[in-house]
Protein backbone atom coordinates (compact mmCIF):
# COMPACT_ATOMS: atom_id res chain seq x y z
CA UNK A 1 0.00 0.00 0.00
CA UNK A 2 1.14 3.57 -0.71
CA UNK A 3 3.12 5.03 2.18
CA UNK A 4 2.80 8.56 3.55
CA UNK A 5 5.28 10.68 5.49
CA UNK A 6 3.26 12.74 7.96
CA UNK A 7 5.14 14.84 10.49
CA UNK A 8 3.55 16.48 13.51
CA UNK A 9 4.14 20.26 13.40
CA UNK A 10 6.94 21.48 15.66
CA UNK A 11 5.85 22.90 19.01
CA UNK A 12 8.63 25.49 19.28
CA UNK A 13 6.46 28.13 17.62
CA UNK A 14 3.62 27.81 20.11
CA UNK A 15 4.84 30.30 22.75
CA UNK A 16 5.48 32.90 20.06
CA UNK A 17 1.99 32.41 18.66
CA UNK A 18 0.55 32.67 22.16
CA UNK A 19 2.48 35.86 22.84
CA UNK A 20 1.17 37.44 19.63
CA UNK A 21 -2.42 36.39 20.37
CA UNK A 22 -2.25 37.56 23.99
CA UNK A 23 -0.94 41.00 23.00
CA UNK A 24 -3.68 41.82 20.52
CA UNK A 25 -5.89 44.71 21.61
CA UNK A 26 -8.37 42.69 23.68
CA UNK A 27 -8.57 41.13 27.11
CA UNK A 28 -6.52 37.95 27.22
CA UNK A 29 -8.60 34.98 26.06
CA UNK A 30 -11.61 37.14 25.24
CA UNK A 31 -11.97 35.84 21.70
CA UNK A 32 -12.24 32.29 22.97
CA UNK A 33 -12.30 29.62 20.29
CA UNK A 34 -11.01 32.07 17.67
CA UNK A 35 -7.79 32.26 19.63
CA UNK A 36 -7.55 28.47 19.77
CA UNK A 37 -8.12 28.22 16.03
CA UNK A 38 -5.53 30.90 15.28
CA UNK A 39 -3.04 28.96 17.38
CA UNK A 40 -3.89 25.74 15.55
CA UNK A 41 -3.59 27.22 12.05
CA UNK A 42 -0.35 29.05 12.91
CA UNK A 43 1.06 25.84 14.40
CA UNK A 44 0.18 23.83 11.29
CA UNK A 45 1.71 26.45 8.99
CA UNK A 46 4.63 27.20 11.35
CA UNK A 47 4.15 30.94 11.04
CA UNK A 48 2.96 33.90 13.10
CA UNK A 49 1.06 35.17 10.06
CA UNK A 50 -0.99 32.25 8.71
CA UNK A 51 -2.91 32.43 5.45
CA UNK A 52 -5.82 30.56 3.88
CA UNK A 53 -5.24 30.11 0.17
CA UNK A 54 -7.52 28.75 -2.57
CA UNK A 55 -9.84 26.62 -0.40
CA UNK A 56 -10.91 23.41 -2.14
CA UNK A 57 -13.72 20.99 -1.45
CA UNK A 58 -13.83 17.51 -2.96
CA UNK A 59 -17.01 15.44 -3.07
CA UNK A 60 -16.19 11.76 -3.56
CA UNK A 61 -19.11 9.75 -4.96
CA UNK A 62 -19.62 6.01 -5.02
CA UNK A 63 -22.29 3.33 -4.74
CA UNK A 64 -22.54 0.44 -2.30
CA UNK A 65 -23.60 -3.15 -2.88
CA UNK A 66 -25.34 -3.27 0.50
CA UNK A 67 -28.04 -1.03 -1.01
CA UNK A 68 -29.61 -4.25 -2.33
CA UNK A 69 -30.62 -5.08 1.25
CA UNK A 70 -32.91 -2.07 1.63
CA UNK A 71 -30.92 -0.33 4.39
CA UNK A 72 -31.82 3.05 2.89
CA UNK A 73 -35.22 4.30 1.73
CA UNK A 74 -33.48 6.03 -1.19
CA UNK A 75 -32.83 4.06 -4.39
CA UNK A 76 -29.27 3.78 -5.62
CA UNK A 77 -29.88 5.95 -8.68
CA UNK A 78 -30.08 8.96 -6.36
CA UNK A 79 -26.26 8.92 -6.26
CA UNK A 80 -25.78 9.77 -9.94
CA UNK A 81 -28.85 11.99 -10.00
CA UNK A 82 -27.37 14.09 -7.20
CA UNK A 83 -24.11 14.36 -9.11
CA UNK A 84 -26.05 16.03 -11.92
CA UNK A 85 -27.48 18.37 -9.29
CA UNK A 86 -23.93 19.24 -8.21
CA UNK A 87 -23.05 20.04 -11.81
CA UNK A 88 -26.09 22.28 -12.15
CA UNK A 89 -25.19 24.15 -8.97
CA UNK A 90 -28.39 23.32 -7.13
CA UNK A 91 -27.25 21.16 -4.19
CA UNK A 92 -26.56 22.19 -0.62
CA UNK A 93 -22.82 22.06 -1.12
CA UNK A 94 -23.07 24.33 -4.16
CA UNK A 95 -24.48 27.40 -2.46
CA UNK A 96 -21.97 27.06 0.36
CA UNK A 97 -19.07 26.67 -2.06
CA UNK A 98 -20.23 29.79 -3.87
CA UNK A 99 -20.73 31.72 -0.63
CA UNK A 100 -17.30 30.91 0.75
CA UNK A 101 -15.41 30.85 -2.57
CA UNK A 102 -14.44 27.18 -2.52
CA UNK A 103 -13.16 25.39 -5.59
CA UNK A 104 -15.67 22.51 -5.75
CA UNK A 105 -14.58 19.23 -7.37
CA UNK A 106 -16.74 16.12 -7.84
CA UNK A 107 -15.02 12.75 -8.17
CA UNK A 108 -16.49 9.51 -9.51
CA UNK A 109 -14.99 6.96 -7.11
CA UNK A 110 -17.31 4.09 -7.98
CA UNK A 111 -20.73 5.29 -9.10
CA UNK A 112 -22.99 2.67 -10.68
CA UNK A 113 -23.49 4.76 -13.79
CA UNK A 114 -21.73 5.41 -17.10
CA UNK A 115 -20.88 9.07 -17.33
CA UNK A 116 -20.31 10.54 -20.77
CA UNK A 117 -16.99 11.86 -22.03
CA UNK A 118 -16.87 15.55 -21.27
CA UNK A 119 -19.12 15.35 -18.21
CA UNK A 120 -17.79 17.72 -15.52
CA UNK A 121 -16.62 14.96 -13.19
CA UNK A 122 -13.15 13.74 -12.24
CA UNK A 123 -12.95 10.11 -13.30
CA UNK A 124 -11.28 7.99 -10.61
CA UNK A 125 -13.79 5.13 -10.85
CA UNK A 126 -12.56 1.85 -9.36
CA UNK A 127 -15.64 -0.20 -10.19
CA UNK A 128 -19.37 0.40 -10.66
CA UNK A 129 -20.39 0.00 -6.99
CA UNK A 130 -18.80 -2.05 -4.25
CA UNK A 131 -19.92 -5.61 -3.60
CA UNK A 132 -22.54 -6.53 -1.01
CA UNK A 133 -20.70 -6.96 2.29
CA UNK A 134 -23.56 -8.97 3.74
CA UNK A 135 -22.10 -11.81 1.67
CA UNK A 136 -18.51 -10.86 0.78
CA UNK A 137 -15.92 -8.11 1.09
CA UNK A 138 -17.00 -4.82 -0.45
CA UNK A 139 -13.70 -4.55 -2.32
CA UNK A 140 -10.50 -6.43 -2.89
CA UNK A 141 -7.25 -5.44 -1.23
CA UNK A 142 -5.98 -4.20 -4.60
CA UNK A 143 -9.09 -2.04 -5.10
CA UNK A 144 -8.72 -0.55 -1.64
CA UNK A 145 -5.08 0.35 -2.26
CA UNK A 146 -5.98 1.88 -5.62
CA UNK A 147 -8.71 3.97 -3.98
CA UNK A 148 -6.22 5.32 -1.43
CA UNK A 149 -3.82 6.23 -4.22
CA UNK A 150 -6.50 7.95 -6.28
CA UNK A 151 -7.78 9.89 -3.29
CA UNK A 152 -4.22 11.06 -2.62
CA UNK A 153 -3.95 12.17 -6.25
CA UNK A 154 -7.03 14.37 -5.80
CA UNK A 155 -5.57 16.12 -2.75
CA UNK A 156 -2.24 16.57 -4.53
CA UNK A 157 -4.00 18.21 -7.48
CA UNK A 158 -5.63 20.76 -5.16
CA UNK A 159 -2.28 21.47 -3.52
CA UNK A 160 -0.69 21.94 -6.93
CA UNK A 161 -3.33 24.57 -7.67
CA UNK A 162 -2.33 26.61 -4.62
CA UNK A 163 -4.71 25.18 -2.01
CA UNK A 164 -3.61 25.04 1.62
CA UNK A 165 -7.01 24.37 3.25
CA UNK A 166 -9.13 21.49 2.03
CA UNK A 167 -12.34 19.71 2.98
CA UNK A 168 -14.08 16.58 1.83
CA UNK A 169 -17.63 15.38 1.38
CA UNK A 170 -19.37 12.33 0.02
CA UNK A 171 -22.29 11.17 -2.05
CA UNK A 172 -23.32 7.52 -1.93
CA UNK A 173 -26.60 5.93 -0.93
CA UNK A 174 -26.12 3.69 2.17
CA UNK A 175 -22.71 5.08 3.12
CA UNK A 176 -23.94 5.82 6.65
CA UNK A 177 -24.27 2.04 7.02
CA UNK A 178 -20.64 1.52 6.02
CA UNK A 179 -19.55 4.34 8.33
CA UNK A 180 -21.42 2.78 11.25
CA UNK A 181 -19.57 -0.48 10.71
CA UNK A 182 -16.20 1.26 10.52
CA UNK A 183 -17.09 3.09 13.73
CA UNK A 184 -18.09 0.04 15.75
CA UNK A 185 -15.02 -1.96 14.68
CA UNK A 186 -12.52 0.87 15.11
CA UNK A 187 -13.86 2.24 18.40
CA UNK A 188 -15.46 -0.76 20.11
CA UNK A 189 -18.68 1.23 20.59
CA UNK A 190 -21.66 -1.13 20.22
CA UNK A 191 -23.29 -1.17 16.79
CA UNK A 192 -26.67 0.01 18.05
CA UNK A 193 -25.00 3.22 19.28
CA UNK A 194 -23.32 3.79 15.93
CA UNK A 195 -26.23 3.55 13.52
CA UNK A 196 -28.76 6.21 12.70
CA UNK A 197 -31.49 6.99 10.23
CA UNK A 198 -29.20 8.27 7.48
CA UNK A 199 -31.42 9.92 4.85
CA UNK A 200 -34.58 8.42 6.42
CA UNK A 201 -35.93 11.36 8.42
CA UNK A 202 -38.70 9.19 9.93
CA UNK A 203 -36.28 6.75 11.56
CA UNK A 204 -38.56 3.85 10.58
CA UNK A 205 -35.80 1.89 8.87
CA UNK A 206 -33.32 1.75 11.76
CA UNK A 207 -34.45 -1.66 13.04
CA UNK A 208 -34.01 -3.31 9.64
CA UNK A 209 -30.73 -1.49 9.10
CA UNK A 210 -29.41 -2.75 12.43
CA UNK A 211 -30.36 -6.35 11.66
CA UNK A 212 -28.66 -6.28 8.25
CA UNK A 213 -25.49 -4.72 9.64
CA UNK A 214 -25.40 -7.11 12.59
CA UNK A 215 -25.73 -10.06 10.21
CA UNK A 216 -22.95 -8.58 8.07
CA UNK A 217 -20.71 -8.52 11.13
CA UNK A 218 -21.57 -12.11 11.92
CA UNK A 219 -20.62 -13.10 8.37
CA UNK A 220 -17.30 -11.21 8.48
CA UNK A 221 -14.26 -13.49 8.23
CA UNK A 222 -11.35 -11.01 8.10
CA UNK A 223 -8.57 -10.22 10.58
CA UNK A 224 -10.18 -7.03 12.02
CA UNK A 225 -7.17 -4.85 11.09
CA UNK A 226 -7.94 -1.29 10.08
CA UNK A 227 -7.10 -2.03 6.44
CA UNK A 228 -9.32 -5.10 6.42
CA UNK A 229 -12.27 -3.29 8.00
CA UNK A 230 -11.88 -0.53 5.42
CA UNK A 231 -11.93 -2.90 2.47
CA UNK A 232 -14.62 -5.26 3.78
CA UNK A 233 -17.22 -2.69 4.77
CA UNK A 234 -16.13 0.54 3.07
CA UNK A 235 -17.15 2.42 -0.01
CA UNK A 236 -14.75 3.52 -2.71
CA UNK A 237 -15.63 7.14 -1.96
CA UNK A 238 -14.83 6.63 1.72
CA UNK A 239 -11.47 4.99 1.07
CA UNK A 240 -10.56 7.73 -1.40
CA UNK A 241 -11.36 10.29 1.31
CA UNK A 242 -8.95 8.45 3.64
CA UNK A 243 -6.21 8.64 1.01
CA UNK A 244 -6.94 12.32 0.37
CA UNK A 245 -6.77 13.14 4.08
CA UNK A 246 -3.45 11.38 4.48
CA UNK A 247 -1.95 13.13 1.45
CA UNK A 248 -3.27 16.50 2.63
CA UNK A 249 -1.59 15.97 6.01
CA UNK A 250 1.64 14.93 4.32
CA UNK A 251 1.48 18.21 2.38
CA UNK A 252 0.83 20.11 5.65
CA UNK A 253 -2.56 21.35 4.49
CA UNK A 254 -5.34 22.31 6.90
CA UNK A 255 -8.10 19.69 6.75
CA UNK A 256 -11.66 20.71 7.58
CA UNK A 257 -13.56 17.61 8.74
CA UNK A 258 -17.28 17.35 8.02
CA UNK A 259 -19.89 15.11 9.60
CA UNK A 260 -20.48 11.48 10.54
CA UNK A 261 -19.08 9.83 7.43
CA UNK A 262 -16.02 12.02 7.03
CA UNK A 263 -15.27 11.80 10.76
CA UNK A 264 -15.22 8.02 10.45
CA UNK A 265 -12.96 8.32 7.42
CA UNK A 266 -10.63 10.45 9.53
CA UNK A 267 -10.89 7.85 12.30
CA UNK A 268 -9.68 5.18 9.88
CA UNK A 269 -6.93 7.46 8.59
CA UNK A 270 -5.76 8.15 12.15
CA UNK A 271 -5.57 4.44 12.91
CA UNK A 272 -3.09 4.16 10.03
CA UNK A 273 -1.23 7.42 10.69
CA UNK A 274 -2.03 9.06 14.06
CA UNK A 275 -0.18 12.24 13.05
CA UNK A 276 -2.96 13.12 10.59
CA UNK A 277 -4.99 14.42 13.54
CA UNK A 278 -2.65 17.39 13.95
CA UNK A 279 -3.83 18.87 10.66
CA UNK A 280 -7.58 18.56 11.28
CA UNK A 281 -10.17 21.12 12.32
CA UNK A 282 -13.59 19.63 13.04
CA UNK A 283 -16.37 21.66 11.46
CA UNK A 284 -19.47 20.49 13.27
CA UNK A 285 -21.30 17.90 15.29
CA UNK A 286 -23.97 16.45 13.07
CA UNK A 287 -27.42 15.14 13.90
CA UNK A 288 -26.66 11.58 12.78
CA UNK A 289 -26.72 9.16 15.72
CA UNK A 290 -23.19 8.17 16.58
CA UNK A 291 -21.43 11.35 15.47
CA UNK A 292 -21.26 12.77 18.98
CA UNK A 293 -19.84 9.49 20.25
CA UNK A 294 -17.12 9.21 17.62
CA UNK A 295 -16.12 12.84 18.23
CA UNK A 296 -15.85 12.06 21.93
CA UNK A 297 -13.84 8.93 21.15
CA UNK A 298 -11.20 10.93 19.30
CA UNK A 299 -11.46 13.67 21.95
CA UNK A 300 -12.17 16.68 19.77
CA UNK A 301 -14.49 19.66 20.00
CA UNK A 302 -16.17 20.74 16.76
CA UNK A 303 -16.78 24.38 15.91
CA UNK A 304 -20.53 24.19 15.24
CA UNK A 305 -23.61 22.21 16.20
CA UNK A 306 -26.39 23.06 13.76
CA UNK A 307 -28.22 19.71 13.71
CA UNK A 308 -26.98 19.07 10.17
CA UNK A 309 -27.07 15.59 8.63
CA UNK A 310 -26.96 16.26 4.91
CA UNK A 311 -23.39 15.20 4.25
CA UNK A 312 -21.72 16.42 1.04
CA UNK A 313 -19.31 18.35 3.29
CA UNK A 314 -21.83 21.07 4.13
CA UNK A 315 -20.88 21.29 7.81
CA UNK A 316 -17.22 21.79 6.99
CA UNK A 317 -18.00 24.70 4.68
CA UNK A 318 -20.37 26.25 7.22
CA UNK A 319 -17.46 26.29 9.69
CA UNK A 320 -14.96 27.80 7.26
CA UNK A 321 -15.78 31.48 7.95
CA UNK A 322 -15.05 30.90 11.64
CA UNK A 323 -11.58 29.64 10.72
CA UNK A 324 -11.22 32.62 8.39
CA UNK A 325 -12.16 34.94 11.26
CA UNK A 326 -9.48 33.38 13.46
CA UNK A 327 -6.84 33.94 10.80
CA UNK A 328 -8.02 37.51 10.25
CA UNK A 329 -7.86 38.10 14.01
CA UNK A 330 -4.18 37.18 14.31
CA UNK A 331 -3.24 39.09 11.15
CA UNK A 332 -5.43 42.19 11.24
CA UNK A 333 -5.85 43.18 14.88
CA UNK A 334 -3.41 45.69 16.28
CA UNK A 335 -1.17 44.81 19.18
CA UNK A 336 -0.76 46.93 22.29
CA UNK A 337 2.76 47.71 21.10
CA UNK A 338 1.47 49.17 17.83
CA UNK A 339 -1.01 51.69 19.24
CA UNK A 340 -1.41 53.84 22.32
CA UNK A 341 -3.77 51.63 24.30
CA UNK A 342 -2.97 50.65 27.86
CA UNK A 343 -3.24 46.93 28.47
CA UNK A 344 -6.51 46.29 30.24
CA UNK A 345 -6.14 42.74 31.42
* Residue 64 backbone phi and psi in degrees, to 5: -125, 135
The crossing angle, in degrees rounded to 10, of helices 92-100 and 78-88 is: 30
Is 312 annotated as catalytic?
yes
Q: Distances from the Cα of 163 to the Cαs of 46, 57, 167, 247, 257, in angstroms?
A: 16, 10, 11, 13, 16
The strand order across the sheet containing 165-171 reads: 122-123, 103-110, 56-62, 165-171, 254-257, 280-282
What's the rounded Cα separation, in Å, for the pair 78 and 69?
A: 16
Where would I find the H helices in the chain? 14-22, 32-45, 78-88, 92-100, 141-160, 175-187, 191-194, 206-219, 226-233, 236-250, 260-272, 291-297, 314-332
Q: Per the residue annotation, which of 143, 145, 312, 332 is the catalytic one?
A: 312
Q: Which residues are catalytic?
A: 312
Amino acid sequence: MIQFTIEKPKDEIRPYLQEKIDNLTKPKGSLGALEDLAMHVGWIQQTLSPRLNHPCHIVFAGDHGIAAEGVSPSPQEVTYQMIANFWNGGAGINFLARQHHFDLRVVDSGVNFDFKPGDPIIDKKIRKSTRNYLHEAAMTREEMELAIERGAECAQACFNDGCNIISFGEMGITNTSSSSLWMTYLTGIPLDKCIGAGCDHTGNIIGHKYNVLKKSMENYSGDASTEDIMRWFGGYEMVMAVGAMLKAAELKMIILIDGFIMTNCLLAASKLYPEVMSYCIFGHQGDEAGHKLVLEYINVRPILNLALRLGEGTGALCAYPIVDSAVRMINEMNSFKQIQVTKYF
